[in-house]
Chain A
Amino acid sequence: MTEFALTLLRLAFLGALWLFVIITVVALRRDLLQPREARPASNRPVKPAKPAKPPKPPKAKKSDRVGPSLVIVDGPLTNTVIPLGTAQITIGRAPDSTIVIDDDYASSRHARIYPSDGGWIVEDLGSTNGTWIERTRITQPTALTPGTPLRVGRTTLQLRK
């Protein structure tokens, strides 16, 4: 092995070591900087949901299958859709809630929403700051009507049929 070849080898080793670091950092950077909404678009074209959907013909069939759902329209989890099934849904800061909201204005077990007679009832579970339908704080289990804003802490939800 000549001195020259050894020098080349030495630089090649350092180069390869840095190549590993650079590949890692570049991949990491892509992971970090891509906005969350935009990411699925790179894999498969998923439209931004709301505006595109209503005019579509298969909409009726699809929503039949999915049934009613709860949409978060304001707050940190905006645009999250929770399909409503037959089970109740709990809202609060407790990690085992169905909808976990990280919000200083919400209680650990803030409210629950449960099915009843084909409709959905919301009940406050003794929260500190209350559960609000439009501008009124509810004091007893109240039926949820589609489209009315339901506010828990800084999060606003809506029932969608």
Chain B
Amino acid sequence: MSTAAHAATVQPKRRGLELALLILAWGLGVLGTLQVAWSTGEGVHPRFWITASVVGAIALTTHLIVRWRVPYADPFILPIATLLTILGLTMIYRLDVAAAQRAERNDNPVTTPDVYDQLTWYAFAATLFILVLIALRDHRVLQRYTYTAGLIGVVLLLLPLAPIIGATVNGATLWVRIGGLTFQPAEAAKIFLTIFFAGYLVVTRDSLALVRTKFLGIGFPRARDLGPILIVWAVSLGVLIFERDLGTSLLFFGLFVAMLYIATQRISWLVLGFLLFAIGSVGAYLLFGHVRTRVQVWLDPFAYADTGGYQIVQSLYGFSNGGLFGTGLGRGYPDLVPFANTDFIAAGLGEELGLTGVFAVLLLYAVLIERGLRIAVTVRDPFGQLLAAGLSITFAIQVFVILGGVTRLIPLTGLTTPFLSYGGSSLVANWIIIAILLVISHRARRPAALPLSADTAPTQVMKR
């Protein structure tokens, strides 16, 4: 009886599938890099196989740690994150080659490649990923640090404004420089703030959801319950005004509104959030020149093709040059876009892999986010549900904002493309998010001591 009951809840762990997908991801990296080396005429770098083995070793280590610490975790998340990181490394290598060849043609000084930096960051991110898996047995302990996390999150957000360590790069004050090392504290802040939002909403969601006054057929919250959303709105605006960082501001406000909606299941919060967003954007448009420029460039980039619209115009040319199947890695001109390896890495992918490749990458993000939300549906405790949902939503917002910007669907705002973009802070933060998601997933899918509720069951079709 008890064995039968157990068997009913034991899920296939699918770790073999995970390993197979990881090997495929590594193979794709090798294939892509070789393709770059051959088609640019650069030739295979003498250190290539060492680099490839290092990447393979990191991926294998993360897989083994997952097998050891969180054997029931979702099998798709790790391979997708790894593949996106590897695609990023390939593209960054591709851009290094382009930069080096351009420098050689123009007799400029030799450029330093970025790919080894990024590889180091990947190794560091994987180390932190492993540390989180080892140190965090149960995601519910994070709930204890709700307000600590909130405080750390806000401090991290404001850190770039601090007098000595704060740094302004390309017009946005979102960097911190300590010694020779720079990082974007906002990337770490998004993890802390998601923990804070989740912990806070678990406690307050009943009063936020239930007490309402009816207006225009929709129940709206009482004025005193509006406090938190107004505070987050004000902080987001503060980030926008003082740090001039549209992307981060949008990310935090969107994240909070989405989590409010998930916690309370009230449309009115979305309506309110959208209204506040509208007020904020119109205000920002009227008050700040840099916001106005962004919108004008978005509406008519070709009118500013030589000035503010140069980047987006080059990006659009890149996509169009790529067409359906792309020029092939190493055959396009992705380096013509300024910041090709950070904000505009998707433009490079669009040019060299074409629509087909971009769709594949978008599907990878879609599956990653879907798995994250599925964890939120599966896990039993409300804190875990909100945390998993919130962390997945950060990916969703980031991908939408930056890819929407690069393809001129929405005004361009600077955010990193998760896992793909060159940049350590973003890569490390995203890998920590993956680790937390895997811990929650492990607890959601592992067989319960008692076969109790349907909520502990693994993935399932939700009937609503």
User: Nearest-CB distance from A12 to chain B (Å)?
Assistant: 7
State whether B8 touches A9 (Cβ < 8 A). no
- Could you give, for residues 1-25 of chain B, a 1 whenever the CB lies within 8 Å of some chain A CB and a 0 otherwise? 1101101101110100100110011
Q: 8 Å CB contacts to A: which residues of B58-103?
A: 75-76, 79-80, 83
State whether B329 touches A95 (Cβ < 8 A). no
The CA of A58 and the CA of B224, in the complex, are separated in Å by: 63
Of the candidate stretches B270-278, B335-343, B450-458, the one touching chain A is: B450-458
Q: How many residues of A contact B (CB 8 A)?
A: 48
- If over half of A's interface residues share one DSSP class (helix, strand or loop), that class is named, otherwise mixed; here it is helix
User: Nearest-CB distance from B395 to chain A (Å)?
Assistant: 16
- The answer to whether A116 has its CB under 8 Å from any CB of chain B is no
State whether B7 touches A46 (Cβ < 8 A). yes
Chain A residues positioned under 8 Å from B39 (CB to CB): 1, 6, 9
State whether B4 touches A47 (Cβ < 8 A). yes
State whether B381 touches A95 (Cβ < 8 A). yes
The CA of A46 and the CA of B10, in the complex, are separated in Å by: 12
Of the candidate stretches B26-34, B287-295, B309-317, B423-431, the one touching chain A is: B26-34
The CA of A40 and the CA of B7, in the complex, are separated in Å by: 6
Chain B residues positioned under 8 Å from A80 (CB to CB): 451-454
Specify which of A20, A28, A76, A98 is in contact with B24 (CB 8 Å cutoff): A20
User: Nearest-CB distance from B323 to chain A (Å)?
Assistant: 12
The CA of A53 and the CA of B325, in the complex, are separated in Å by: 59
User: Nearest-CB distance from A136 to chain B (Å)?
Assistant: 27
- The answer to whether B145 has its CB under 8 Å from any CB of chain A is no
- The answer to whether A66 has its CB under 8 Å from any CB of chain B is yes
User: Nearest-CB distance from B120 to chain A (Å)?
Assistant: 25
Chain A residues positioned under 8 Å from B380 (CB to CB): 95, 100
- Could you give, for residues 72-104 of chain A, a 1 whenever the CB lies within 8 Å of some chain B CB and a 0 otherwise? 000011001111000000000001001111100
The CA of A17 and the CA of B362, in the complex, are separated in Å by: 12
State whether A81 touches B451 (Cβ < 8 A). yes
Contacts A20-B21, A83-B450 hold; do A14 and B356 have CB atoms under 8 A apart? Answer: yes
- If over half of B's interface residues share one DSSP class (helix, strand or loop), that class is named, otherwise mixed; here it is helix
Chain A residues positioned under 8 Å from B14 (CB to CB): 27
State whether B460 touches A36 (Cβ < 8 A). yes
Q: How many residues of B contact A (CB 8 A)?
A: 56
State whether A21 touches B360 (Cβ < 8 A). yes
The CA of A9 and the CA of B20, in the complex, are separated in Å by: 22
- The answer to whether A140 has its CB under 8 Å from any CB of chain B is no
The CA of A18 and the CA of B364, in the complex, are separated in Å by: 10
State whether A16 touches B27 (Cβ < 8 A). yes
A interface, CB within 8 angstroms of B: 1, 6-7, 9-14, 16-21, 23-25, 27-28, 31-33, 36, 39-40, 43-44, 46-47, 49, 53, 62-63, 65-66, 76-77, 80-83, 95, 98-102
Known: A13-B35, A16-B31, A32-B459. 13 other contacts (CB 8 A): A1-B39, A10-B326, A13-B28, A14-B354, A14-B360, A16-B28, A19-B24, A20-B83, A20-B364, A27-B17, A40-B8, A77-B452, A83-B450
4 nearest interchain CB pairs?
A10-B328, A1-B38, A17-B360, A46-B7
